[in-house]
Structures are given as structure tokens and as C-alpha cells.
Amino acid sequence: MFSKITENHHLAAALFAVITAVYSGSLLLGSLAYAVVMAGFLAHYSGRLPIVVARIRSWYIARQGTPTNFKKYDIIMGYDENGRPQLENLQSLGHSFVVATTGFGKTVWYQGMLHWLIETHTPEELQIYISDAKKVSFPIWSRIPHLAAPIAVTKDETDRMIDMLLAEMERRTALFNLYSSARLCDNIQKYYEITGDKLPRIMVIFDEKTDAIESDSDTDKKLITLAKLSRSYGFNIFVGTQRPSAKSVNGELISQLVTKVAGYMPSAREYGVVTQLPKEIYSRMTPTPGRFMVYTPGRQWRFLQSRMVPDSELEKRAARVSRGHTRPRWGIPVAPRKNALAETMKLSGTMAEKMAVVQAWANTLDVKPSIQQIADRYGVSRPTAKGWKGRLK
């Protein structure tokens, strides 16, 4: 590295230093200018210049602060060329494909997203599942109350985690079906409007899918099923990989990952064929850590710089949020919510709409509900419950 520094480099740095000293009238600034130029040459020849530039840009972005106009379930996808945060909402984002070669910021992008979401959402609003095949990327989050299962670090644990997610999807299907015969109830927002029961959104992260799930395995097929069916139930799946080849990531799965977040990859084929980036976009990509090409539904491809949160800040936030909580364990429910089927539900709408919901619930019972059961379930007085019972078929 030092052998590549020639007299011409010293001469260029000295000339810049002299010009700076003359115009500023300060020998100290001139010396500093010489040091900065020489540091730039050294960074260039050591191959670390992109990393240095990325860290300087990250520092600049951090000075812009966090957005204040965010809505519930907004996430920071990154920052544009002017350092402005670019927000997307989980409710419209769908499932995501996150790719980048080793060392170019895929896991850092996940960490920045988690850092933001656990600060702005409660465990009742957001549940998180993580598959960490590398076993070293996410341990600091292992005790946050948002975590609905232990962090999966083996193939067997990842398979078990997917089974849990499929079971939760089936549970939500049963909840929706209670009302679908009387009201259109085909997503979590409509379910909330009918019942007043707000189901938490579920975010699922596969940091390195190709290490955690073998292509065309039973686990892979279950993941494809989950990706196909889970969006209306409030799931957001993020599938990440360093090797986005057609062999390692099933094309049927990729077709369900409508949002694309692509960092630097050494092969142009991985951009065009697997992640389906247009050539006019990926031809402008540079090997800069944290720089991503991003596509979200309804928007054009764009370049964003990821939210690089310092390790010390990640550790501090994880420790604060985790205080008083223990790691979840396999086979033990994590702070189970009260069964939504038994919760008091506040009904709205016309009398006909209310009775349609009550009738749908009554149809699931072996015998007609009592006045007290109706009063307890819907939070109404006994006289009102008596009137509703009289209308039941």
C-alpha cells in the first residue's frame, strides 16, 4: 500500500496544502489539507475508499435526524441522494427480496430497520420472527418483547419457525371465517373494523435463506406457501441472500417477493436474471457498502443509502427494550395474547350489520348463546343483549 505512494502523490498533496494555506492564511489548515489528501491516497490504494466514503455519508445522514411525519408501520428504506429519509409502509410493501454480496450491507440494512421498528411499535402492534443462519448477526435482539419465537439458527429451527407461522396463519383464517358469511372479512384491517380486535402485524426475516433452507426441500415448499397466502393476514416476509442464483432461490418464491432491495453484486447476471433489475439501473451500480437499488410496488427503481446505525447505538437500544424480558424458548408460548375469539368486541354499523356479525358467531356454537354471553362478548347491557338474542335464528 505505502509502496504505491510516489513523489507525485506527495507533490499533489503539498500543492493543495500550499493553496489552502495561502487562501486561508493559516499554516495549520495547510498542514491539515496535506494530511487529508494523503489519507485519501492511502484509503484508495488499500481498497478501503468505498468504506470510508460510506461511513462519511452515513455520518452526514445521521445528522439529518429521524423523520417526524411517519405513520404506523412505516419503515425507513434508506436515504436519497440529498439525505432525505424514504419511508414505505409495511401494509403496502408486501414481501421483500434483499440481496447483496458479503460486506456490502444486507445485514446492516436489516439492523437499521429493526432499530427503527422496535422503537416506534409495541409488541402488541408488531411481532418479529428471525432466521439467522450465520448465528452472529442478531443475538442482541434475542430478548426483545417483540420476538414471537427464539431466533432460528439451524435448518431444523427455521423449519419449526415456519410451521409456527403457518399455524398462526390458520388461526387468523379461522377468525376471519367467523364473520365472512355476513361481512367481507378478508384481511386484518377489515377484521379490525368489524370486531375492534387489532391483530399485530408479523415481520419475518430470513437473513441468509440459502444457508437456512435448501432449495426444493419441504421447508422451501412451506415457505413458498407462506409467501403466497400470508400477505392479507398481516405478514411481511424479508428473504435475504448473498447468492441470488436461480438454483438457490426458487423462481416461484421470487415471484412473491414484490419489493426488491439490491446491493452490490459481482455478477451482472444476478442483477438482471434473478432480481429482475433493468440494465439501465444496475449498470450505474458502484461497489459502495450500504448503497442499494430499491423497487417498491407503485414506484420506480431508485438508489438509496441504507440506514447505518452504529453498533453502540444498536446495542444500547436492544438492551433498553429488552430490560426485564427473557429469551423465548421453543415449545413455550411467548406472552400469549388473550384468545381473540373470547375478547370483548365492540360492534359498529347498522343494526342489520351488527346482527349479521352476532349471527355468524352464534352459528359457530352448539347451542344458542345466553343473554349474559352476548352481553360479555360484545360489551352491551343485558336488555340490549336480550333484544339481540331474540333476533337470532
pLDDT at 334 exceeding the cut of 60: no
CA 148 – CA 162 distance, rounded (Å): 12
- 258 or 337, higher pLDDT: 258
C-alpha cell at 164: 409456527
> pLDDT at position 31, please?
74
Cell for 59? 455520518
In angstroms, the CA 281 to CA 295 distance is 11
pTM for this structure?
0.71
Phi, psi of 59, deg, nearest 5: -65, -40
Could you give the CA distance from residue 306 to residue 112 in angstroms, rounded to a whole number? 8
Note the pLDDT of residue 166: 93
Q: Which residues touch 140 (CB under 8 Å, ≥6 apart)?
A: 314, 315, 318, 319
Can you read off the three cell numbers belonging to residue 94? 408486501
Q: What is the pLDDT of residues 295-305, one digit of tens each?
A: 998 888 899 99
Please check whether residue 365 is in contact with residue 183, taking contact to mean a CB–CB distance below 8 angstroms. no
DSSP code at position 313: H
* pLDDT above 90: percentage of residues in the chain: 32
Query: In angstroms, rounded to a whole number, what is the distance separating the alpha carbons of residues 241 and 178?
Result: 39
Q: Measuring CA to CA, which residue among 96, 87, 221, 207 is closest to residue 141?
A: 207
More confident residue, 107 or 8: 107
Is residue 278 predicted with pLDDT exceeding 60?
yes
Question: What is the grid cell recorded at 199?
Answer: 391483530
Strand partners, 239: 97, 206
14-23 pLDDT, tens digit per residue, is 676 677 766 6
Residue 205: pLDDT above 90?
A: yes
CB atoms inside a 10 Å sphere around CB 20? 19
Please give the Cα distance from 201 to 187 (Å, whole number).
11
CA-angle at 131, arms to 313 and 304, nearest 5°: 55
Measure the CA–CA gap between 67 and 64, rounded to whole angstroms: 9
CA–CA separation, 129 vs 373, rounded Å? 36
Q: At what angle do helices 371-378 and 382-391 cross, to 10 degrees?
A: 110
- Enumerate domains of the chain plus CATH numbers: 2-47 (no CATH), 65-322 (3.40.50.300), 344-391 (no CATH)
Cα atoms in the Cβ-side hemisphere of radius 13 Å centred on 19: 7
Q: How many CA atoms lie within 13 A of 98 on its CB side?
A: 28
Residue 259's CB is within 10 A of a number of other CB atoms, namely: 20
